[in-house]
């Protein structure tokens, strides 16, 4: 790799290893996320998990059916942040009851932004595998509670998802999206949701803090999409370099930077 490639990989690693969403939101709200968690109703977690799963399923359908595979150019990060901020204002104004409406909308906006970034990094979104990579970014933005420190790195997270993505891509190549409940798709949605729900829980907890409200909800959602734009940009920079130099050399250099 030349100096430019190394600099890009260093940028990608910086984006992929930025502070967690919880840390960034806590800095903004001025209180730890745990305080927001204490304010949420006892049965909020199952409701969040169910909404996350439905949002992922919607995003999967979006990624496979409606993304514009032909358009390319610079990603419109700012436009997507404005849209996410508007949906966050709605969520902040109406609180947890609005989650069932706000989260699918926010997730859809994030998915469109991730796809925009993927295109700008040379991904061919005409292919199913590249589109599933956009969905996978939702899982790369949050570490599973059940992972230990050795399993939360970027390449480890990708490896953990690789089989599910591969099986889902093979299924979709044969059957399309006509069998949404197929085991391969169910496994992919479950794995993405298990990680994405952690980040969503952090966002929901922040919006439960009374001082947040509609304006704060817009800003929290802006941090939410900014987090996944960073992860998506880092992920697709790495994939572009892997297409040029191979995965193993890129991974070895990434780990030494």
pLDDT score recorded for residue 46:
84
Q: Is the pLDDT of residue 184 over 80?
A: yes
Tens of pLDDT along 47-72? Answer: 888 889 999 988 888 777 766 655 55
Tens of pLDDT along 3-29? Answer: 999 999 999 999 998 878 888 877 776
pLDDT score recorded for residue 86:
65
The pLDDT of 171-193, averaged and rounded, is 82
pLDDT score recorded for residue 25:
77
Domain coordinates in residue numbering, the chain: 3-256
Packing angle of the helix pair 247-256, 3-16 (nearest 10 deg) = 70
CA 16-20-23 angle, to 5 degrees, is 150
Q: Is the pLDDT of residue 173 over 90?
A: no
Q: Is the pLDDT of residue 44 over 90?
A: no
**Pick from 43, 49, 61, 95: which is nearest to 207 by CA?**
95
Q: Is the pLDDT of residue 160 over 60?
A: yes
pLDDT score recorded for residue 92:
55
Query: Which are the contacts of 33, defined by CB distance < 8 A and separation ≥ 6?
Result: 22, 25, 26, 202, 205, 206
Write out the two tokens for 88: 């966050």
Mean pLDDT of the chain: 81
The pLDDT of 225-251, averaged and rounded, is 95
Would you say 92 and 212 are in contact if contact means Cβ atoms under 8 Å apart? yes
């Amino acid at each position: 790799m030349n100096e430019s490639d190394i600099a890009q990989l260093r940028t990608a690693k910086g984006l992929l290893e930025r502070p967690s969403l919880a840390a960034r939101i806590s800095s903004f709200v001025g209180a730890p996320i745990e305080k927001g968690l204490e304010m949420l109703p006892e049965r909020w977690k199952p409701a969040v998990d169910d909404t996350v799963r439905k949002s992922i399923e919607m995003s999967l359908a979006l990624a496979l059916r409606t993304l514009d595979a032909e358009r390319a150019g610079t990603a419109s990060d700012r436009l997507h942040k404005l849209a996410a901020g508007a949906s966050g204002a709605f969520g902040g104004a109406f609180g947890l009851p609005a989650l069932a409406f706000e989260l699918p909308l926010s997730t859809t906006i994030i998915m469109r932004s991730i796809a925009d970034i993927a295109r700008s990094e040379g991904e061919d979104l005409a292919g199913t595998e590249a589109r599933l990579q956009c969905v996978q970014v939702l899982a790369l933005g949050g570490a599973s509670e059940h992972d230990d420190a050795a399993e939360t790195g970027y390449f480890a997270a990708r490896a953990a998802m690789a089989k599910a993505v591969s099986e889902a891509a093979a299924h979709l190549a044969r059957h399309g999206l006509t069998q949404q409940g197929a085991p391969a798709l169910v496994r992919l949605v479950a794995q993405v949701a298990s990680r994405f729900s952690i980040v969503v829980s952090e966002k929901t907890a922040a919006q439960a803090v009374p001082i947040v409200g509609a304006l704060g909800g817009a800003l929290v959602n802006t941090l939410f999409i900014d987090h996944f734009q960073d992860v998506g940009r880092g992920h697709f920079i790495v994939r572009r370099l892997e297409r040029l130099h191979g995965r193993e050399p890129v991974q070895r250099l990434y780990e030494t930077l």
